[in-house]
Structure 1
């Protein structure tokens, strides 16, 4: 059990940074003076995978937290997971909100990175 939650934690971290990479790679591509022909293929792959890896992140993150703690309780990991859930719910309501949702979705990405580092370095901050 000990090893399983660690593997799921690493998987969650990889998925989170994969999620953020879509924004990062789009920005890199936007400001490249000479745009490589293969770069749009990477963006297309990241864009298509984004929703599915987001769902996987929610599931894997939840299982990781439950196995690590044996229950659901207030913890830096729960706050991080709720932030991920909030970003996903924002995506679900994008048609009702309009184009404003993407601004908040991207801001939430930066918040999630900060929450990840808090969770990684200070997991028992709320103890």
Structure 2
């Protein structure tokens, strides 16, 4: 969203506070997504096994680990984080529409 805002010809003054809030909430929503995703998978299957949801959850875990080690990676971590974000969107749709693709 920050990149889209940068290219707007007329910048609305209500947008920066929203970006500031989303930036601070991003970490907590990522942690919540990890926890809720794990609980969802465990309750849905009754166990943890190879499934499109597990692959999606592992991708989210890798994105979070990239954040944790961002000081070690330097500025390259954000490219990794954003690229993985786009991959996660694809994995989400794969899991949503074809959950039993892997049996």
2:49 aligned with 1:60, yes or no?
no
What is the root-mean-square deviation of aligned Cα atoms in Å? 0.5
Matched with 1:7 is none
Matched with 1:37 is 13
2:59 aligned with 1:83, yes or no?
yes
The structure 2 residue matched to 1:69, chosen from 45, 51, 56, is 45
Matched with 1:116 is 92
Count of matched residue positions in the alignment of Structure 1 and Structure 2: 103
5+ long unaligned stretches in structure 2: none
2:74 aligned with 1:98, yes or no?
yes
Deviation at 1:85, TM superposition (A): 0.1
Matched with 1:9 is none
Q: Where do 4+ consecutive residues of structure 1 move more than 6 Å?
A: none
Structure-2 separation of matches of 1:31 and 1:117: 28
